[in-house]
């Protein structure tokens, strides 16, 4: 079967090189430093008034620490979160690394073309880096849904389309509806989750249980995954606040996210023990549901949600996420034929929708009285006359558009990815690093694991 020729010797290099050459050409043609990063641009000062930009006002100092936190989340957070699978650690971290490296370049262009052009140039700086990382996050969420069942080439193809659709959806939400979504409950989480779930649906594998033995974790792989979880948890306040307005907005968003996550964690432990017959905690819940609080304040985090409100949202998010893992995921697989490897529906899907709803409700309550002169920084449209219920309606419309774009986009891209040309693994070798990676031998005793079990299979594949 052509589909199962998993040899990447030509496919992957051709794909990577062609994509990078295209990226380089487009960057050469369209990309320019933002004035804050441009030697001439930053030092253009008013000769008459002898004033120039003071260095401490460079955007770099407002946002670079947050950017680095986000960067850690994208590459360490997402990468290690997925290493929970016992034989898929190389691919989890490694493919995460590859598709993120591609996506952030491609996102710079797509987001730039749609809402960052100045004199037909895309200006790049710390804000575009953050935005590109955000878009990449969305792709990595979708990756979580199809983890273990896809080839790296297939993932790159998915990224090409998903980044493009993400940028379009983001443009509609932010520049047409003027919706607020700084931490991306809608643009990043809802979009990434439902897009990925739809792709997973289209790529449904009837005989996936043939790889069942590898679809679980082992003791050490769960510890590696906790590195990812904890980093995502720690830096989520930076994620949600990375592109909010300077000053109180960044400050408040970080606070709200911090409290939401703390409350979410207690809910996660509570419900994880409650839904287990012996009252034992489940690592899948801890690794994932404890993060739902960050997702759920991705829209309202910059608003005057109050710590009180944030904690309620976080508590709800943790609760629905654990319950989703326990009761909904099995149904999704058996009834809807969605094999959601990492349970992104529970971590990003439902909490993302919850976050959008919280954003709608918090927007309704926006007023000059509550926000004072800071209103314009959060809701520029309300400041300029839009009433808060219109803002809320736009937030609601944004959720609808996002779901539509994600599901339709996921359907089409899923069909494209179903073509038997990308070297996807056979049903018997899902969740297995040995297909795409030169594996080292193992320490004495378990050597047969890496080498013996696979070869006879892979010989057939390459034959």
Taking the CA atoms of residue 158, residue 294, residue 282 and residue 222 in that order, the dihedral angle to the nearest 10 degrees is 60
Of 394-413, which residues contact a copy of itself (CB under 8 A)?
A: none
Q: Which of residues 430-459 bind a copy of itself (CB under 8 A)?
A: 435-446, 448-450, 458
Cα–Cα distance for residue pair 122/224, rounded to 1 Å: 38
Residue 217 bridge partners (DSSP)? 85
Residue from 3, 101, 121, 383 touching a copy of itself (CB under 8 A): that is 101
Instruction: Please enumerate in sequence order all residues whose Cβ is within 8 A of that of 52, keeping only pairs 6 or more positions apart, or say none.
Output: 43, 44, 45, 46
Q: Say how far apart CA 329 and CA 333 lie, in whole Å.
A: 6
| CA–CA separation, 289 and 325 (whole Å) | 8
Nearest CB to a copy of itself, comparing residues 32 and 333? 32
Shortest approach of a copy of itself to residue 300 CB, angstroms?
13
Of residues 164-183, those binding a copy of itself (CB under 8 A): none
- Least CB distance from residue 228 to a copy of itself, whole Å? 11
Per rule CB under 8 A, is residue 9 in the interface with a copy of itself?
yes
In the stretch 103-132, what mask flags binding to a copy of itself with x, by CB under 8 A?
-xx------------------xxx--x---
Q: Between 306-323 and 248-274, two packed helices, what is the crossing angle to 10 degrees?
A: 40
* Under 8 Å between Cβ of 135 and 163: yes
Comparing C-alpha atoms, which of 253, 20, 33, 193 is closest to residue 129?
33
Kindly state whether residue 4 participates in binding a copy of itself, applying the rule CB under 8 A. no
Q: Would you say 87 or 201 has its CB closer to a copy of itself?
A: 87
Which helix (H) or strand (E) is 122 found in, with range? Answer: strand 121-124
Q: How many residues form the binding site for a copy of itself (CB under 8 A)?
A: 150
The interface mask with a copy of itself, positions 289-328, x = CB under 8 A, is -x-------------x-xxx--xx--x-------------
Judged by CB under 8 A, the chain residues 219 through 258 that form the site for a copy of itself are 219-224, 226-227, 230-231, 233-235, 237-238, 246-252, 254-255, 258
- For position 388 contacting a copy of itself by CB under 8 A, the verdict is no
What residues from 352 to 371 belong to the interface with a copy of itself (CB under 8 A)? Answer: 370-371
Residues of this chain, 191-220, that bind a copy of itself according to CB under 8 A: 216-220
Output the CA torsion 402→404→405→411 (10° steps): 140
121 φ, ψ (degrees, to nearest 5)? -125, 145
CB proximity list for 457: less than 8 A, separation 6 or greater: 426, 428, 429
| Among 276, 384, 389, 451, contact with a copy of itself (rule: CB under 8 A) | 276
Instruction: Tell me the sheet residues that pair with 33.
Output: 124
Instruction: Determine, following the binding rule CB under 8 A, whether residue 135 of this chain makes contact with a copy of itself.
Output: no
CA 250 to chain CA centroid, nearest Å? 20
- By CB under 8 A, what part of segment 39-68 binds a copy of itself? 39-45, 52-53, 55-62, 64-66, 68
Nearer to a copy of itself, 181 or 403 (CB): 181
- Max CA-CA distance within the chain? 78
Q: Cβ–Cβ contacts within 10 Å for residue 228, how many?
A: 25
97 near a copy of itself (CB under 8 A): yes
Is 463 a binder of a copy of itself (CB under 8 A)? no
């Amino acid at each position: 079967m052509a589909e199962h020729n998993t040899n990447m010797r030509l496919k992957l290099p051709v794909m990577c090189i062609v994509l990078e050459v295209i990226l380089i050409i487009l960057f050469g043609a369209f990309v320019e430093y933002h004035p804050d990063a441009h030697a001439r641009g930053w030092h253009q000062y008013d000769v008459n008034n002898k004033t120039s930009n003071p260095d401490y006002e460079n955007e770099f100092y407002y946002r670079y620490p947050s950017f680095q936190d986000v960067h850690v989340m994208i590459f360490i957070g997402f990468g290690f979160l997925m290493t929970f699978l016992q034989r898929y650690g190389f691919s989890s971290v490694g493919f995460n690394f590859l598709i993120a490296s591609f996506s952030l370049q491609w996102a710079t262009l797509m987001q730039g073309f749609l809402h960052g052009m100045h004199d037909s140039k895309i200006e790049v700086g710390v804000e575009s880096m953050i935005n590109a990382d955000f878009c990449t996050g969305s792709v990595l969420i979708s990756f979580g849904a199809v983890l273990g069942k896809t080839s790296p080439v297939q993932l790159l193809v998915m990224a090409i389309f998903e980044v493009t659709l993400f940028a379009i959806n983001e443009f509609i939400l932010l520049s047409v509806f003027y919706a607020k979504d700084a931490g991306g409950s809608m643009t990043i989480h809802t979009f990434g989750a439902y897009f990925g779930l739809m792709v997973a649906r289209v790529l449904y594998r009837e005989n996936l249980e043939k790889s069942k033995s590898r679809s679980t974790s082992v003791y050490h792989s769960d510890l590696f995954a906790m590195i990812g979880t904890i980093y995502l948890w720690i830096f989520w306040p930076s994620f949600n606040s990375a592109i909010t307005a300077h000053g109180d907005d960044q400050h408040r968003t970080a606070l709200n996210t911090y409290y939401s996550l703390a409350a979410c964690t207690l809910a996660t432990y509570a419900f994880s023990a409650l839904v287990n017959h012996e009252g034992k905690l489940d690592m899948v819940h801890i690794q994932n549901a404890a993060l739902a609080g960050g997702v759920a304040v991705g829209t309202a985090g910059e608003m005057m949600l109050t710590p009180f409100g944030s904690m309620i949202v976080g508590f709800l998010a943790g609760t629905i996420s654990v319950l989703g893992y326990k009761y909904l995921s099995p149904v999704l697989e058996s009834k809807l034929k969605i094999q959601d490897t990492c349970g992104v529906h529970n971590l990003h899907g439902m909490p993302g929708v919850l976050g959008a709803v919280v954003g709608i409700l918090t927007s309704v309550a926006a007023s000059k009285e509550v926000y004072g002169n800071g209103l314009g920084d959060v809701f520029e449209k309300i400041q300029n006359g839009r009433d808060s219920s219109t803002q809320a309606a736009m937030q609601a419309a944004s959720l609808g558009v996002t779901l539509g774009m994600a599901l339709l986009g996921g359907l089409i891209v899923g069909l494209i990815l179903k073509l038997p040309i990308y070297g996807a693994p056979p049903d018997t070798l899902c969740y297995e690093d040995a297909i795409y990676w030169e594996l080292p031998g193992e320490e004495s005793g378990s050597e047969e694991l890496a080498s013996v079990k696979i070869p006879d299979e892979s010989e057939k594949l390459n034959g």
